């Protein structure tokens, strides 16, 4: 429940499903039996949907199989709920359509909705032909009239590849979803390796290699009311040559009063990352935002623990919070980031931040402690801090 799975065409050039899964035998619904042809030219979308519907309505669920071959598939939406767990087994290759009518104004390639227990396997390749859509991306120049492009992929245990200079190619894009696990995945893209959008909860990211790309980001947030993000846990990840490391970003103007809470980034390695740790509540990618207005998004209970390595710029830590709604309960523990680029030793910058620091702080932190009475502060003994559940 709450799982949204997107494989969308402008996101990846190649997505390799490399994990081998051992599972109980299910009834197999081969798309070839529904009219799909693996010649790389015939539109197999209807066969894909028909095979999915057959498996979905089968008592106990089923496996939708793409056998060896190259299958052209236009954008599809695969709907649940299903009568059992489902598997998509890609032994062959899936190829997106080059027709602009199949991706202009459409925000997905393959979408699965309202399904519990989805498994992806097979060792095949999903080729979104992203480069065919990138030239149509003019949203920064034409924000009011640009056409929406497919841009997202959400899957586990895969390798996701797009050129570092490809626009709007988020690797894994999560929105309005719960209970998502991303494990042992290699992501190289031209945008966020993983982006977490409004309405998402209980997202677990472990063992991700990110680079090139823009890092792992929450946001941007604040465009719509009531779309908060909570319970995001990122650990044991490595960032190599990325524009950002771990980042939270909210719109600077017209931001609605939503919240970001219960977020943890821990055991993270940074290798020549431009901006390893970022909170940016002045996000305004197109420019022209008023300096008189500050974000109304409340960020609280965010932990940065055991983040180490090298920054490519002097600003290794930048916490730029809202003046009207300052960040609360921000914790930094064992931060060890050295400047590998020009400009002298690394620095840590913080604005409108209330929180605490523990252990190593390299560069030295400027986070201010929360406003509290002397009695409350005395409650935090050194023993209790050591026993804190990080």
267: annotated active-site residue: no
Largest CA distance in the chain: 74
Dist. CA 258–CA 250, nearest whole Å: 10
Dist. CA 149–CA 290, nearest whole Å: 28
> Which of 192, 214, 301, 306 is the catalytic position?
214
Tokens representing 301 are 């209970």
Pairing of strands 186-188, 298-311: unpaired
> Which of 108, 152, 186, 191 is the catalytic position?
191
214: annotated active-site residue: yes
Query: For residue 263, which of 170, 362, 331, 186 has the smallest C-alpha distance?
Result: 331
Dist. CA 151–CA 70, nearest whole Å: 22
Q: Which residues are catalytic?
A: 191, 214
């Amino acid at each position: 429940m709450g799982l949204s799975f997107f494989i969308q065409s402008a996101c990846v050039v190649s997505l390799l499903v490399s994990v081998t899964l051992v599972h109980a035998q299910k009834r197999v619904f081969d798309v070839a039996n529904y009219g799909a042809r693996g010649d790389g030219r015939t539109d197999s979308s209807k066969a894909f949907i028909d095979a999915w519907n057959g498996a979905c309505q089968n008592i106990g669920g089923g496996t939708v199989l793409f056998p060896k071959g190259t299958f052209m598939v236009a954008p599809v939406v695969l709907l649940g709920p299903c009568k059992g767990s489902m598997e998509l087994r890609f032994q062959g290759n899936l190829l997106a359509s080059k027709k602009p009518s199949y991706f202009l104004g459409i925000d997905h390639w393959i979408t699965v909705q309202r399904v519990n227990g989805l498994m992806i396997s097979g060792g095949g390749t999903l080729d979104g032909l992203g480069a065919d859509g990138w030239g149509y991306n003019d949203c920064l120049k034409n924000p009011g009239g640009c056409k929406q492009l497919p841009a997202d992929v959400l899957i586990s245990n895969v390798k996701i590849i797009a050129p570092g200079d490809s626009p709007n190619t988020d690797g894994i894009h999560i929105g309005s979803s719960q209970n998502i696990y991303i494990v042992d995945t290699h992501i190289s893209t031209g945008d966020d390796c993983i982006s977490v959008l409004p309405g998402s909860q209980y997202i677990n990211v472990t063992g991700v290699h990110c680079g090139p790309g823009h890092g792992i980001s929450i946001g941007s947030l604040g465009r719509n009311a009531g779309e908060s993000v909570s319970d995001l846990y990122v650990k044991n990840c490595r960032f190599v040559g990325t524009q950002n490391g771990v980042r939270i970003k909210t719109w600077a103007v017209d931001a609605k009063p939503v919240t970001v809470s219960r977020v943890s980034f821990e055991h993270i390695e940074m290798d020549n990352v431009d901006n390893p740790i970022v909170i940016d509540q002045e996000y305004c990618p197109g420019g022209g935002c008023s300096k008189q207005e500050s974000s109304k998004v409340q960020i609280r209970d965010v932990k940065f623990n055991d983040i180490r390595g090298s920054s490519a710029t002097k600003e290794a830590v930048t916490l730029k919070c809202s003046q009207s709604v300052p960040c609360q309960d921000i914790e930094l523990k064992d931060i060890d980031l050295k400047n590998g680029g020009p400009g002298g030793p690394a620095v840590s910058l913080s604005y409108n931040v209330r929180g605490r620091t523990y252990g190593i702080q390299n560069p030295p932190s400027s986070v201010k402690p929360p406003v509290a009475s002397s009695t409350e502060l005395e409650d935090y003994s050194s023993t209790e801090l050591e026993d804190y559940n990080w």
